[in-house]
Amino acid sequence: MSNIECAKQKILQIVATSKLPEDLPHTKNTLKWLLRLKPEADESLRLAALAHDIDRAGEHTKVKRSDFKDYSSFKAAHAKHSAEILQLILEECKVEKSVVEESCRLVLLHEVGGDDRSNLLMYADSISFFDVNLPHYFRREGWEETLRRAIWGLKRIPNELWSLIDNLSFNNKDLTKIIDVAKKKVVDSAFC
């Protein structure tokens, strides 16, 4: 088995231990969206897509939103912890140092972007939230919190990629309504 395959397997094994049913499908789906946006994505991007939320799998070690005063601080700590976990895995699998560094850098930036590569990961993650996580999030959190999270997610995606979300279908009319309301609020806030 190659070093990269070793790392991918370990990442997926860890993510599979998450108590949230959407975490493993979201991980795989983020990679799917990444490859749809950039079919020639290199191994650093692919590993980052698989590991971007690995922090969530550790029930006793994951970063908890309730420990932070605001959502941005929580997301930054989550990204940092996920990058630290990924670094340990990649080093254990003896992945090339440049791939370790770039994969971890991408995971560290996956919530905020900042350059073409980290933006690409952020877009794939955001689209996957709508594709996979949204129904689970709505069941757990309800209308208002899901709307807040949908607005936050849409702000991370360029408007020209919103059509990818428009093409998703949901069996729940509330989810479609939340996306419509969120889009309107994002567009309206851009003109204020």
- Residue-level pLDDT, tens digit, the chain, 192 residues: 899 999 999 999 999 999 999 999 999 999 999 999 999 999 999 999 999 999 999 777 889 988 999 989 999 999 999 999 999 999 999 999 999 999 999 999 999 999 999 999 999 999 999 999 999 999 999 999 999 999 999 999 999 999 999 999 888 999 999 999 999 999 988 765
Tokens of 44: 């650093």
What does the alpha-carbon distance between residue 121 and residue 31 come to, in Å, rounded to a whole number?
A: 9
What's the pLDDT tens digit per position in 53-107?
999 997 778 899 889 999 899 999 999 999 999 999 999 999 999 999 999 999 9
C-beta separation of 54 from 35 below 8 A: no
C-beta separation of 23 from 56 below 8 A: yes
Query: What does the pLDDT read at residue 106?
Result: 98
**Burial class, 6, CB count within 10 angstroms (exposed 0-12 / middle 13-18 / buried 19+):** middle
9, 39, 116, 157 from 163: Cα distances, Å: 32, 19, 20, 11
What's the structural domain count of the chain?
1
CATH assignment at residue 148? 1.10.3210
* Structural domain range at position 154: 3-190
- Is the pTM higher than 0.75? yes
Q: How many helices (H) and strands (E) does the chain have?
A: 9, 0
Query: What does the pLDDT read at residue 191?
Result: 67
Which positions ≥6 away from 107 have C-beta within 8 Å? 48, 51, 52, 79, 82, 83, 86, 121
